[in-house]
Amino acid sequence: RIIHEAGYSEDECKQYKAVVYSNTIQSIIAIIRAMGRLKIDFGDATRADDARQLFVLAGAAEEGFMTAELAGVIKRLWKDSGVQACFNRSREYQLNDSAAYYLNDLDRIAQTSYIPTQQDVLRTRVKTTGIVETHFTFKDLHFKMFDVGGQRSERKKWIHCFEGVTAIIFCVALSDYDLVLAEDEEMASGFYFLFFQLQNRMHESMKLFDSICNNKWFTDTSIILFLNKKDLFEEKIKRSPLTICYPEYAG
């Protein structure tokens, strides 16, 4: 939409303000919670008070608004060496890809006059449920693109709907090679933890890609494998080895 259409209007960008704030708050909360699980201490012991205040202020926050007090708490926490150490171990828990992007730019997004940019909107994380249709024109060709729910609980809703489509663009995040599925972690945190094996996101994507390629509904359909999030992959590979996903890799 941003590339082939006019992007998002100012009014549409304003509607994403609440999502940006929600993603930012969820990210810092996820890091703080992970610190307890990973037994990581704050670099500055007084940040523990900020962490407690974070949960109070976040719980009382009005949707689409971020108070100066809440922004200040988040900024102090994000600068803490213990929080940064936990962030660098984010493969061990669920954290939005956009966490550092928003937290590093908190001075800008916390302003009362803040309007999300196209890049801010692009970085938002909203779970896809159901089917979202987008139309655009490129080189005199009219395209209809359908964004489907990638989560396993959503797949049964769409897999049978697209017999006869011209092409399937199968997107895989290169940066997922050392992560587990969010659905798996949620289930593993419950009663059946001891009996549930966490599924690597890259392995799960490979399984789904195989099932799509060999599906009877798509025998005459062109399938395009699109590997994205190269920038995150290039940064992550410096500290997280590929052997996490592919133990046999010797490069």
Residue pLDDT, tens place only, 44-93 = 999 999 999 999 999 988 888 899 999 999 999 999 999 999 999 988 88
Which pair of structure tokens corresponds to residue 65?
Answer: 């608004």
Task: Establish if 22 belongs to a structural domain.
Answer: yes
Supply the pLDDT for residue 187.
Answer: 42
Ligand-binding annotation for 228, yes or no, is: yes
Residue bearing tokens 């060709």: 141
Beta bridge partners of 168: 223
Neighbours of 43 (CB within 10 A): 13
Ligand-binding annotation for 97, yes or no, is: yes
Ligand-binding annotation for 126, yes or no, is: yes
Ligand-binding annotation for 124, yes or no, is: yes
Encode pLDDT of 206-215 as tens digits: 988 898 888 8
Encode pLDDT of 93-140 as tens digits: 889 889 999 999 999 999 999 999 999 998 998 776 667 777 778 788
Beta bridge partners of 147: 132
Note whether 151 and 145 are within 8 A (CB): no
Task: Establish if 134 belongs to a structural domain.
Answer: no
Ligand-binding annotation for 90, yes or no, is: no
Encode pLDDT of 173-218 as tens digits: 899 898 877 654 544 444 444 444 568 889 988 988 898 888 888 8
Distances (CA, A) of 17 to 24, 117, 120, 128, 221: 11, 10, 9, 18, 38
Please state whether beta strands 141-148 and 131-138 pair in parallel, antiparallel, or not at all (unpaired). antiparallel
Supply the pLDDT for residue 130.
Answer: 65
Domain termination site, one of 100, 123, 146: 123
Phi, psi of 132 (to 5 degrees): -110, 125
Ligand-binding annotation for 98, yes or no, is: yes
Ligand-binding annotation for 127, yes or no, is: yes
Opening angle at CA 20, ends 93 and 86, nearest 5: 25
Task: Establish if 119 belongs to a structural domain.
Answer: yes
User: What is the 8-class DSSP label of residue 44?
Assistant: S
Ligand-binding annotation for 147, yes or no, is: yes
Supply the pLDDT for residue 134.
Answer: 78
Task: Establish if 139 belongs to a structural domain.
Answer: no
Ligand-binding annotation for 149, yes or no, is: yes
Residues 18 and 76 in one domain: yes
User: What is the 8-class DSSP label of residue 64?
Assistant: T
Distances (CA, A) of 147 to 93, 96, 137, 171, 222: 26, 19, 17, 11, 17
For residue 97, what is the enclosing H or E element? none
Q: Any idea what the CATH number is for the domain that residue 53 is in?
A: 1.10.400.10
Residues of the domain holding 61: 10-123
Total H helices, total E strands in the chain: 12, 4
Please state whether beta strands 167-173 and 131-138 pair in parallel, antiparallel, or not at all (unpaired). unpaired
Domain termination site, one of 123, 147, 175: 123
Supply the pLDDT for residue 129.
Answer: 64
Supply the pLDDT for residue 189.
Answer: 46
Ligand-binding annotation for 151, yes or no, is: yes
Ligand-binding annotation for 150, yes or no, is: yes
Supply the pLDDT for residue 188.
Answer: 45
Which pair of structure tokens corresponds to residue 123?
Answer: 């970085």
Supply the pLDDT for residue 240.
Answer: 87
Which pair of structure tokens corresponds to residue 35?
Answer: 């610190």
Residues 179 and 110 in one domain: no
Task: Name which of 41, 31, 36 is nearest 81 in CA terms.
Answer: 41
Distances (CA, A) of 187 to 36, 190, 197, 202: 19, 5, 10, 19
